[in-house]
Structure 1
């Protein structure tokens, strides 16, 4: 496999722990900041906003509780990849100082709803972004699309798009996290998951034998529904998103799915705020990390 870091690959495949998603992007950054206690009147443009969110992420990453004993990987937003922590590029800081595997969110958001799904918007300059990710020692990528209804054509389109782009990413020497999220509030979530699993399996079966991907899926309605995907030889790891569940609910559901590990974003930063002392911040994050870890190792 071109350039894939073997140590990182082994860690992602068989390490104990979960993935921290620190990748809220342009659209969701103000919300992430306001939940952290930084209001919109604290910044006057995107650059100031991104500086503040980088400070928040730096604080999370540098906290003693953010430790490789519990955390296998972290997903970064492009702007975070292009910034430094203590003089090191963020991805290098994660791996060299924390032994945590760095990923990059590469999608540009969702297209409008059609056939019950939201495909990814086109990703212009993807090639250039992937080259930069390789230079920055990133291990893999993440890209999200959303399934709202159990529409077989829409779901097939979503999975085909994800794997098509995923192959382009793999060919650059990066491991793609393929994320076709099923909306947890969807009326026919279970039916969508049945169609989704078939389509993913079809795409996996068509891959050359050396191709590796990861999957990021909503926690399934039926426990252990994705166990066949977890054991597929092409799949490095299957991770779950919190998808709008509270942390407690997400952890409870996750714990009932053997081999499925967390890749939580909002559920990870729940309860953290800019005004907390470092001791309080570390304590809250430490408790959160342990509960998500415990749910991930079942």
Structure 2
């Protein structure tokens, strides 16, 4: 039996006006690649220092309601010995945890992936709860190609997402369900819309089969965009119209919030596209429109920091500014000229 009231209390803390979620849950290969790009060796200490810098930024609680952490980060401490989840709690931010174990090739489905990590999930969640986590995230990916994603991949990944969400809710955690249709490829925006709709339709059918409390979960999907190799550039208005058209068709009214991923967009693109959706949004829509960005929030700060302690304050100012502008987009109040304002 799930504790509905516990889930709804966490949802209330996560779905606050003008706030969104930071994804600081990059896997070791991903964070290592990003650190290498700024000239930093990916040691445990370097990862701790970087994430401590982000999570210790004063004022982010004005714009962030939650942060998704990587398992390593959940057990780390700041320079003064404070557990990193506690740094968040002091600003009224809910700590969360990524619980999937990455992707593998899906058998009998060339070009498609499946996400691993269901084994012993209940036991892991018990430990994460003791470390302060109150919500979870699981990501499945879908690559668009001539024959991808296959029907097998769409249905298998939907089943995995639903099984994860069921375990999370039963253990008292709000699950973030993340079906990401990747930006990679040369497809047009219409093809992305078709695949996104098919993926979300299958995901919600699976969530219903597994008796998920829709009011006690969050959806973290991609925006509807042309592939990055298509040579096409959709305007924020086009992205907003195409994305909301799909979501009106397939996302149930009971879902409290849609927290979009940035998925390879630049910080400016991800902010402008969210703002366009917020402005276009009919007030009769049942769900909130928000963000759960990783690189689109972190990239400027990481570039400035580059592993040098003397750059920490400037990096924190850049991170706070990115949070502020993205929160403005969530309210439909972002303007491109805000990018040039002082930090």
In the superposition, the TM-score normalised over structure 2's length comes to 0.76
Q: CA deviation at 1:209?
A: 7.1
Q: CA deviation at 1:227?
A: 4.2
Per the alignment, residue 71 of structure 2 pairs with 78
Whole-angstrom CA distance in 2 between matches of 1:278 and 1:209: 42
Greater percentage in helix: 2
Runs of 4+ in 1 over 6 A off after TM superposition: none
Deviations 1:109-141 (A, max 9, x none): 101153653110244432221011111221111
Per the alignment, residue 254 of structure 1 pairs with 274
Per the alignment, residue 46 of structure 1 pairs with none
Higher RCO structure (Cα 8 Å, ≥6 apart): 1
SS of the residue corresponding to residue 84 of structure 1 reads coil
Tell whether the 8 Å contact from 2:48 to 2:77 is kept in structure 1 after alignment: no
| Aligned: 1:26 with 2:28 | yes
Structure 1 residues 295 and 216: alpha-carbon distance in aligned structure 2, compared to 1, 3 A threshold? same
Tell whether the 8 Å contact from 1:144 to 1:179 is kept in structure 2 after alignment: yes
Structure 1 residues 63 and 257: alpha-carbon distance in aligned structure 2, compared to 1, 3 A threshold? same
Tell whether the 8 Å contact from 1:15 to 1:72 is kept in structure 2 after alignment: no
Per the alignment, residue 293 of structure 1 pairs with 327
Q: CA deviation at 1:230?
A: 6.0
Whole-angstrom CA distance in 2 between matches of 1:124 and 1:200: 20
Structure 1 residues 200 and 209: alpha-carbon distance in aligned structure 2, compared to 1, 3 A threshold? closer
Tell whether the 8 Å contact from 1:18 to 1:262 is kept in structure 2 after alignment: yes
Structure 1 residues 118 and 150: alpha-carbon distance in aligned structure 2, compared to 1, 3 A threshold? closer
Paired residues in the alignment total 287
Tell whether the 8 Å contact from 1:104 to 1:142 is kept in structure 2 after alignment: yes
Per the alignment, residue 104 of structure 1 pairs with 97
- Structure 1 gap segments, 5+ residues each: 44-48
- Structure 2 gap segments, 5+ residues each: 226-241, 279-287, 333-343
Q: CA deviation at 1:92?
A: 2.9
Per the alignment, residue 46 of structure 2 pairs with 52
Per the alignment, residue 226 of structure 1 pairs with 247
Q: CA deviation at 1:210?
A: 4.2
